[in-house]
């Protein structure tokens, strides 16, 4: 798969080794690894550039954004430094987008890429070009984009002399979704499931090959969900190539730029733009879920227009959402509420995951002869470790639907925390409990592995 770089290049074939850290990086900081030249001595950015050769053939396709461009492969890593990106965000708050872009490319080199949606974030590519540094671009092809957007992609590639690296959804998952629910199920039950298959999961695969990514998010795009975006942050929702929470940095160079200023920049620089913009489309996504907006309407009004305004995020920037989602469900006569976490959206939202209130979890724990076994996660919506396992837990619930095993969640935060510690063996978030069919005593999941296969093995061993 082709990589988006300002000049195509080849790479060394030596093996790459990383040092072992005694503990994962803390939220708000990330370890930056200084690489060494195979023959000894640290390699500067200028030295890295001098060691590459032109690449005339397109590299073999890979599902992740493996850093092929301008990569110097190290035989040893001997130095680790911890970067305070919260401090850096403060220092760069009043910096220009060009300065922020330059800093991002300087720090991460070939381990960072621009996320290009086919809309006005072509400005990011222009800023990257102006830095004079090599850069990479990737985009998510959902299979449902407008014809104009596909032609725009090609125009951008030709204008900048780059190749965009496209990430595609898993064909089996798309096929299963369409065969079971049809092509337009999102009009009836919300867009989240379709976006998860066509956008969020491909993005996860892409980011697992990076240490940082660059987005076109702006604070004025959606005041309800993006008003607190910093110019740089440790990504709260996704993981990078080193794995674990805190392994990926997210740069938002135009966070503080107004939409009209972005357009003034694009016109001044005479760069390609998506022709849909001239037809009233401002925020552009998939064809079935995007429409033109009327004069005076906010740009996000054209996205998922049939849904409540609170839901106008696809999941790619979930970590920045500051509003509360209305996800309460009834458990007996009690409403399951958000337990004092009104500034954090709920997680594990799926029709296959039962939302248990305090009454619901108490009733479940009291049953000595259950008709079905239950797997329940005790969580806090703000917990980054809970957020990191969200996809695998929802996937597990989908796999277990109709199998005779119920999957549930209990928000054990705030006033429920002491109860959960006392009655449900809560140690840290997330805690996963299995309630067997013929026993009142729950069994605590002992592993730190929270992937689907590990959780399924735990269930199969007990049911």
Active site residues: 383, 386
Angle at 227 between CA 277 and CA 270, to 5 degrees: 30
Structure token pair of residue 187 = 């009009």
Nearest CA-CA partner of 61 in 206, 227, 254: 206
Nearest CA-CA partner of 116 in 193, 15, 217: 217
- CB contact at 8 A, 108 and 212: yes
Residue 434's φ and ψ, nearest 5 degrees, are -110, 120
DSSP secondary structure of 65-134: ----TTPPPPS---EEEEEEHHHHHHHTTTS-HHHHHHHHHHHHGGGEEEE--SSTTHHHHHHHHHHTS-
> Computed over its alpha carbons, how large is the radius of gyration of the chain?
23
- CB contact at 8 A, 235 and 15: no
Rounded CA separation 112/212 (Å): 5
């Amino acid at each position: 798969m082709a990589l988006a770089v300002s000049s195509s290049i080849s790479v060394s074939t030596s093996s790459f080794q990383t040092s072992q850290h005694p503990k994962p990086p803390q939220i708000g900081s990330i370890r930056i690894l200084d690489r060494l030249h195979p023959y000894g001595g640290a390699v500067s950015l200028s030295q890295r550039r001098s060691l590459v050769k032109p690449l005339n053939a397109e590299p073999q396709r890979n599902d992740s954004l493996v850093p092929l461009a301008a990569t110097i492969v190290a035989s040893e890593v001997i130095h680790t430094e911890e970067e305070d990106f919260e401090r850096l965000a403060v220092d760069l708050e009043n910096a220009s987008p060009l300065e922020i872009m330059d800093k991002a490319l300087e720090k991460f080199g070939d381990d960072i890429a621009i996320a290009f949606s086919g809309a006005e974030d072509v400005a990011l590519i222009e800023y990257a070009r102006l830095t004079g540094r090599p850069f990479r671009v990737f985009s998510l092809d959902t299979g449902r984009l407008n014809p104009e957007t596909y032609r725009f992609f090609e125009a951008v590639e030709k204008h900048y002399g780059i190749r965009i690296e496209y990430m595609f959804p898993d064909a089996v998952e798309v096929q299963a979704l369409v065969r079971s629910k049809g092509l337009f199920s999102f009009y009836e039950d919300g867009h989240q499931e379709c976006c998860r298959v066509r956008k969020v999961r491909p993005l996860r695969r892409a980011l697992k090959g990076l240490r940082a990514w660059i987005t076109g998010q702006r604070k004025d795009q959606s005041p309800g969900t993006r008003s607190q975006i910093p110019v740089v942050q440790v990504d709260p929702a996704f993981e990078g190539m080193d794995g674990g929470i805190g392994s990926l940095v997210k740069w938002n160079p135009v966070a503080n730029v107004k939409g009209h200023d972005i357009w003034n920049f694009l016109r001044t620089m005479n760069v390609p733009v998506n022709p849909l913009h001239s037809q009233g489309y401002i925020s552009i996504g998939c064809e079935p879920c995007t429409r033109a907006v009327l004069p005076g309407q906010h740009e996000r009004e054209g996205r998922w227009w049939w849904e409540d305004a609170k839901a106008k995020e696809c999941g790619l920037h979930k970590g920045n959402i500051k509003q509360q989602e209305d996800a309460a469900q009834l458990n007996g006569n009690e409403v399951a509420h958000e337990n004092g976490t009104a500034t954090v959206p709920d997680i594990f939202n799926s029709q296959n995951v039962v939302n248990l209130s305090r009454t619901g979890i108490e009733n479940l724990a009291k049953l000595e002869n259950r008709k079905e076994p239950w797997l329940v996660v005790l969580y806090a919506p703000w917990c980054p470790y809970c957020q990191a396992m969200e996809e695998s837990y929802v996937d597990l619930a989908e796999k277990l639907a109709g199998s005779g095993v119920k999957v549930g969640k209990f928000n054990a935060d705030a006033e429920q925390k002491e109860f959960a510690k006392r009655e449900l063996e809560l140690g840290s978030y997330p805690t996963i409990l299995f309630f067997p069919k013929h026993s009142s005593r729950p069994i605590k999941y002992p592993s730190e592995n929270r992937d689907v296969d590990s959780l399924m093995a735990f269930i199969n061993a007990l049911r």
